[in-house]
Every structure is written in C-alpha cells, then in structure tokens.
C-alpha cells in the first residue's frame, strides 16, 4: 500500500479512530487486529499485501499479543498521523498511569520490504518483527511537476518521489498527475480493485475487478479476497506436498514387493541346502546347486559365520516372513494409492497459522472493566460500556466503595476501592487520582477544569 493511498484512506477513517479507547491487540499469522470496543483496526503485515482498514466488527480466532496489549490497554487515540506521504502511520495514544497522563505511540510501517508494528512508551520501544525500516522522506508528490515527470523513468519516480509504488508510477501521465494532485487536495474519487494476487489497487486503471466509493471498503473487501486466494494457493501446495510424500512411501514399498517365484526361491534354497548338506561346511560363502524343480543350476549365497543348518533355517525364516508380509505390503500400497485419489478431491479447512513470535498460547479473557492500581494499593474500576457500567455499579461495588461522577457531563462509571479500616475515608491522593480518572473517561476530558462529585456507595 503506497503512501498516497494510505493518505486517502486516513482521510476517510481518522475521524472514526480519534478518541476511541484501545482494549487489546490481537494477531493471526501476519494479520493484526487492534480492538476498540466493538470496532477494529485491521493491519496486514503480509509483504505481498501491506494494508490497513477499519471495521465496526471484531473477528474471532485471533490471539493476544500480550507484551503489546499490556502497554496500550485503556489508552485513548488522540491523534492519527502520517508524515510526507510515507507508508507509515502513527497512532498517538494517551493513558492514565498512577494518576498521571502518559503518551504512547503505535507505529504501523507498511513498507513492502518489511511491514512491522512498533510500540513506543516513555521507557521502551518494542518491535513485532526484528527488521524495522526507517527512511528519510523523499520529494512529496505535490511537488512533482509535469516536466520532472517527463524526465523520470518509473524506477526513478519510485526512488525520488514519496508515496509512489510501481503500479502508480506506471500509470502516471501528465494528465493523471494533475488528477492525483486534485484528489490529494480533496476532490472525490472512486478507487479501483485491479487484482487480488498480486494485491493491486488504482485510481486510473482501465481494466479492474470492481469500483468502490471508498478506500476503506475497497481494502476491507480486497483483503478478504486476498486471504481467500492465499488460502487456496496454500491448500493446493499442501495437497501437492501430501501427494508427493504418499508417492515416495509407495515407491519405497514397491521396492519390497516380490513376485511369487522370488518368494518360493527362499524355500527352495533352504531345501537344497539341507539336501546337499554333506557338500557344505561352515565358512562357505556361496554354492552352486541343481534346482530339482527347474533342472537348472542356481547360485545360493551363504553366511560364512553360520553352519549349513543355520543357513537353511535362515532361508526358511525369510520365506515365511515374505509369505506373510507380501500381502500386507500390497494392501498398504493399495491404501496409499487410494489416499492419493482422495487427496486430489479433498477440501481442507484452512486457518492462517498463529504467530509464534510474541503471542500467548491462549487468549486471555478481557476484564469487563478498566482497572487502575494506585500507589497506596487502592484500585479504581472504570466501566467500558452501558452494560459494564451497570455491572460495575450494582454488582461489583460494595457499600464501603466510593462512586465518582462528573457533574454536567456523561461518562463512564468510576468506583474507588480503597483498602482502609472501616469508618475511615480514603487518602486524599487516592480521591484526587480517582477523580482525574473519572474526568478522563468522560465527555469533559478535553476541559481544563472538570467538576467531579463522589459519594460512598
């Protein structure tokens, strides 16, 4: 996803993202999901399709990125930023920690060479993947002139102009450049889904799969088709590899298959050794004897460490083993051949693998409330929704707890559980911290001074 298209997408969804609270960060293979109540920001870190899009639903079967989630849970998105048409978007977050406001950043890098997510906190920086690309901004597309465009080849355009990928570079004519500048300045446009694999979107293509009214809807639909196509390719590869392995097993078994005459030769060899035992002695390696059944001489290999009787017994044992084993080998070959035919027509259920880099083995159940631990040991609980507010106030809160409410504004229910002896009031610092939290999670959070009332439950 080039920087121009990212810019146009963010123009559509920034308003929806701003002021949302982050509940969790989940992953499935290279697909990330930032949960914001019932809404989600999806981030594809597949190098062949690095995209983001916003939905009003969550998807299941994702696992929690524990050491990422713990940093951003209960933080509020205060700003969405893209610099100079670069394929990088930064979510500026704010959260309360020990009663104080703390600023964080979630950096989403969509460079095809190494898509990645980075979280910056006041004390640390965490990368999802080891390779993280940082580049200096190039010349913005808005500064590109028709003269400059005419003097540059596609590869030079990509190298010198910010926000362009190989597809857009190949489509840029003088006319399309002016259209693109108008679109960047605010003119309406209808993006086009050109292909799913490779993932290709356009503003100017003459042939395309579908036209969309928004970039976000295109990316949501297009990425879903990309995953389906990727799944089909992976399933075909899985079938091919399975059939290849089955054929190898068949080939190994076929080398062990003997015709009836070869099996009988073991018995005949044993009989001939016993019939001519006077001619043999320990140490012989081979003997030529007349096969009474065919009236032809045959060479019989002997073990020089064994007596003639022991060599005869070895041939009889080999005969019995092959007599019993050959039908089993042939039945197994038949079974494997049937598996090959079944595999050719079989439909497998495919689920992208879960990342083994940073995820937990099991998704933890999210808490119904936001929780804040104060230095004194007191805990502040904040509701996440109307249902959560009701549960917090009427089920979780106890008579000794304190209820905080912002006067004149709507907001989340806030409860202070202070560990103090019965009859004593909470510490002043705890009351002030709880009041700050109540103000932060209210519609008055942007006010300089917020009146907060509190009472014992």
| Residue 238, burial from CB neighbour count under 10 angstroms (0-12, 13-18, 19+) | middle
pLDDT surpasses 90 at 191: yes
| Residue 29, burial from CB neighbour count under 10 angstroms (0-12, 13-18, 19+) | middle
Phi, psi of 81 (to 5 degrees): -130, 140
Q: Which domains does the chain have, with CATH numbers?
A: 3-127 (2.30.310.10), 190-247 (no CATH), 260-345 (no CATH), 369-456 (no CATH)
The answer to whether 1 and 44 have CB atoms below 8 angstroms apart is: no
Integer Cα distance of 328 and 331 in angstroms: 5
Integer Cα distance of 265 and 289 in angstroms: 13
pLDDT surpasses 60 at 154: yes
pLDDT, residue 354, reads: 45
Is the Cα torsion angle 150, 156, 159, 165 positive or negative in sign? positive
pTM: 0.64
Q: Look at the block and give the residue holding tokens 């027509």.
A: 345
Q: How confident is the model at residue 219 (pLDDT cuts 50, 70, 90)?
A: very high
Query: What is the distance of C-alpha 217 from the center of its chain?
Result: 21
Structure tokens at 12: 């559509």
The answer to whether 67 and 126 have CB atoms below 8 angstroms apart is: yes
Is the Cα torsion angle 126, 130, 135, 141 positive or negative in sign? negative
Three-state DSSP at 63 gives strand
74 — alpha (psi -120 to 50), left (phi > 0) or beta? Answer: left
What is the secondary structure of 255-269 as a DSSP string?
Answer: TT---HHHHHHHHHH
pLDDT tens readout for residues 302-343: 999 999 999 999 999 998 998 888 888 889 999 999 999 988
**Percentage of the chain with pLDDT > 70?**
95
Structure tokens at 18: 């701003």
Average pLDDT over residues 207-226: 95
Half-sphere CA count of 437, side-chain side, radius 13 A: 29
Integer Cα distance of 107 and 89 in angstroms: 6
Structure tokens at 314: 């070895």
pLDDT surpasses 50 at 355: no
Phi, psi of 298 (to 5 degrees): -130, 150
234 Cβ partners below 8 Å, 6+ apart?
350
Average pLDDT, the chain: 88
């Amino acid at each position: 996803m080039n920087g121009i298209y990212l810019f146009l997408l963010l123009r559509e969804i920034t308003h929806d993202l701003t002021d949302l609270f982050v509940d969790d960060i989940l992953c499935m293979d290279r697909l990330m999901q930032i949960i914001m109540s019932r809404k989600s920001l999806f981030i594809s870190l597949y190098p062949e399709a690095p995209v983001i899009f916003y939905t009003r639903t969550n998807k299941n079967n994702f696992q929690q990125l524990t050491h990422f989630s713990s940093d951003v849970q209960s933080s509020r998105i205060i700003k969405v930023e893209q610099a100079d048409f670069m394929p990088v978007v930064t979510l500026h977050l704010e959260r309360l920690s020990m009663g104080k406001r703390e600023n964080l950043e979630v950096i989403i890098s969509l460079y095809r060479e190494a898509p990645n997510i980075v979280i910056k906190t006041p004390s640390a920086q965490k990368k999802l993947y080891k390779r993280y690309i940082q580049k200096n901004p190039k010349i913005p597309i808005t500064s590109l002139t028709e003269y400059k465009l005419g003097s540059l080849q596609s590869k030079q355009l990509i190298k010198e102009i910010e926000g362009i990928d190989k597809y857009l570079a190949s489509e840029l004519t003088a006319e399309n450049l002016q259209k693109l500048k108008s679109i960047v300045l605010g003119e309406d446009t209808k993006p086009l889904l050109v292909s799913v694999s490779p993932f290709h979107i356009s503003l100017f293509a003459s042939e395309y799969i579908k036209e969309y009214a928004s970039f976000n809807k295109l990316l949501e639909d297009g990425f879903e088709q990309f995953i389906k196509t990727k799944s089909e390719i992976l399933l075909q590869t899985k079938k091919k590899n399975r059939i290849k392995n089955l054929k190898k097993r068949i080939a190994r078994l076929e080398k062990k298959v003997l015709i009836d005459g070869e099996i009988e030769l073991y018995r005949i060899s044993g009989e001939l050794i016993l019939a001519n035992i006077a001619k043999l002695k320990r140490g012989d390696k081979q003997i030529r004897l007349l096969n009474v059944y065919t009236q032809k001489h045959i060479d019989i290999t002997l073990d020089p460490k064994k007596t003639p009787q022991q060599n005869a017994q070895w041939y009889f044992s080999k005969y019995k083993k092959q007599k019993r084993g050959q039908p089993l080998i042939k039945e197994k070959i038949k079974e494997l051949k049937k598996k090959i035919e079944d595999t050719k027509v079989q439909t497998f259920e495919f689920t992208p693998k879960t990342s083994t880099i940073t995820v937990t083995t099991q998704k933890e159940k999210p808490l119904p409330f936001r929780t804040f631990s104060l230095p004194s040991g007191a805990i502040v609980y904040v509701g996440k929704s109307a249902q959560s507010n009701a549960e917090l106030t009427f089920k979780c809160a106890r008579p000794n707890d304190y209820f905080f409410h912002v006067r004149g504004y709507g907001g989340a229910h806030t409860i202070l559980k202070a560990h103090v002896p019965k009859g004593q009031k909470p510490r002043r610092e705890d009351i002030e911290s709880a009041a700050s939290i109540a103000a932060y999670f209210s519609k008055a959070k942007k006010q300089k001074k917020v009146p907060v009332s509190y009472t014992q439950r």
